[in-house]
Structure 1
Amino acid sequence: MALRSNPTLRQLRLGAELRRMREQAGLGGSQLARALGINPAHVTQMESGRTGISVERLRTIAALCMCVNEPLIEALADIITDRDKRGWWEEYRGRLSQDFLEIAEIEGPARGLSTYTMAFVHGLLQTDAYASAIFARSYPRLPGHEVELRTAFRLRRQHVIRSGSTPFAAYIHEAALRMQFSGAKVQAEQLGALVEASDQPNIAIRVVLFDADTIPLPNENFTYVEGPVEELDTVQADSGVGNLLFDAPAHTARFRSLLAQIGSAALSEGESREFIRTIQKDMERTHA
């Protein structure tokens, strides 16, 4: 079987979980290879996502590694059986960077999504004009066709929550509600879209006020993605050089704790809706 040159994020995650399973059993790569009757290099290739495995081999590895977490094994088996299914984001491969595709890939099968943003409204809730304004302010400046492409991709991502099948909790700092990327009119329209979105049963929008004193550091803008089992949860965090992805248990536990802190400090959904309406009215008066 030819080795993959560019494994997908799910293929990489499967490999990482195989490695984690082996390490938790205290086995080295050579030991597992000997037990499987394969070359140690093959173990490295499986764990790096460069070659696929069958569900039968997955179960053999789980048994050799003394893994009795059947829900996790079943979730990994689903990744294997879904390997030939192409996500809609594959249409953009070669046109957008890997960072864009990875975000869509982890959001697509999510059991639930929770986000926290401080300077902007999360992409899954952005209007066309707001998203375009953000991309247009990139530095160095992007050409117009790139702004249009990225905006179209971002709006298409929103189907994951607009369909109503994925629970979505958005924690938005007050700064993001007041930050203007293209004037008061665009911001007022964005705030109105937030109010409308908050009426959907699967979408919860809660505001963190300026005076909240139990929130994380200002650079913590992140999305917590719930997998089919907790062991497959993933966190995507923003950085100035691209996406940062975390899936180690210690990291996901840290971000779950951060979400709990933010939730304890945020306004309720009803209070948040009214607060957003108040700012929206102020913005509307500004550009009237």
Structure 2
Amino acid sequence: MPLRSNPTLRQRRLGTELRRMREQAGLGGSELARTLGISPGQMTQMEKAKIGVSPERLRTVASACNCANQPLINALVDMASEREKGWWEKYRGTLTTDFLEVAELESRATRLTICTTTFVPGLLQTSDYASAVFDRIFPPLPPQDIATRTAFRIKRQEAVRSSAIPFQAFIHEAALRMQFGGPKVLAGQLGSLLDASQQLGISIRVVPFAVDTFPGSGENLTFAEGPVPELDTIQMDVTQGALFFDAPADLAKHRVIFARLDSKALSEEGSREFIRSVMEDVKKTYE
């Protein structure tokens, strides 16, 4: 079987969890390989996701590593059993890998919690607003690229809009007031936020300027919960693209950050009132 040239985010995560399982057992790669009856090179390729691992082999690895965390083992077996390609794969070669991996992460999550400070979360953006966000990139993107990225972003929203994945967004007041595309586009976006806040499975909480501290400020973060806590993932937006974190220390840190956000943000009803007031202020600039 040929080696994978570009393992997906999920495939890499599975390899990472195999490595963690081995390291927690205090085993070296060569030592575990001998126990499994494979070469050290194969062991390395499994952990780097260059080759796949069958559900049966995964259970053998767990047994050899004395892993007694059955919920984690079952979740990893499910990952190893995945064969169906996601809808985002048809964009491979058209969009950068970051776009595809964010969509993959979101679609496999059991719950999504997002914190944004500079713009409305992508999963809640209108087409006009999303196009304006992409239009402000420098160097400028060709119109066709903007259209493709916008269509991709709207497609990503289906799982959240259909209530298939519970979704919570903490949105800083700065993001509500930043104008992408002008006041009319922003007013339309704020109206769409109000509508979304009434949908089943969607919770929108505002963090106003008046809050004295804002944990995680300056970062747009997504906390994607997996089927078990060990498979949670943090995704951070940066200028160069998307970063992903899954180390236990990173997950623990960001659980605290989001817990603090929960204690600081306005209630859902208070947030709706706040968004409505901002929208009315924006409308006054052009009516």
Q: 1:24-173 alignment to 2 at 5 Å?
A: 24-82=24-82, 84-173=83-172
Percent identity over the alignment is 58
Worse-matched range after superposition: 112-121 or 212-221 = 212-221
Letter in 1 for 2:74: E
Q: Which runs of 5+ in 2 are unaligned?
A: none
| C-alpha separation in 1, matches of 2:96 and 2:129 | 21
| C-alpha separation in 2, matches of 1:245 and 1:94 | 21
1:244 counterpart SS class: strand
RMSD (Å) for aligned C-alpha atoms: 0.8
1:176 counterpart SS class: helix
Question: CA contact under 8 A between 2:216 and 2:257: conserved in structure 1?
Answer: no
Deviation at 1:220, TM superposition (A): 2.1
| C-alpha separation in 1, matches of 2:67 and 2:138 | 48
Question: CA contact under 8 A between 1:136 and 1:147: conserved in structure 2?
Answer: yes
Deviation at 1:217, TM superposition (A): 4.5
Question: CA contact under 8 A between 2:45 and 2:51: conserved in structure 1?
Answer: yes
Deviation at 1:63, TM superposition (A): 0.5
Q: Which runs of 5+ in 1 are unaligned?
A: none
| C-alpha separation in 2, matches of 1:8 and 1:218 | 30
2:128 counterpart SS class: helix
2:285 equivalent in structure 1: 286
Deviation at 1:160, TM superposition (A): 1.4
2:10 equivalent in structure 1: 10
Deviation at 1:216, TM superposition (A): 2.0
Deviation at 1:163, TM superposition (A): 0.9
1:267 counterpart SS class: coil
Deviation at 1:215, TM superposition (A): 1.5
TM-score normalised by length of structure 2? 0.99
Question: CA contact under 8 A between 1:213 and 1:265: conserved in structure 2?
Answer: no
Deviation at 1:194, TM superposition (A): 0.3
Deviation at 1:142, TM superposition (A): 0.4
2:284 counterpart SS class: helix
| C-alpha separation in 2, matches of 1:287 and 1:78 | 53
Letter in 1 for 2:139: P
1:170 counterpart SS class: strand
2:168 counterpart SS class: strand
| C-alpha separation in 2, matches of 1:69 and 1:213 | 41
| C-alpha separation in 2, matches of 1:151 and 1:88 | 15
1:21 counterpart = 2:41: no
* Deviant stretches of 4+, over 6 Å: none
1:201 equivalent in structure 2: 200
Question: CA contact under 8 A between 1:214 and 1:261: conserved in structure 2?
Answer: no
1:226 equivalent in structure 2: 225
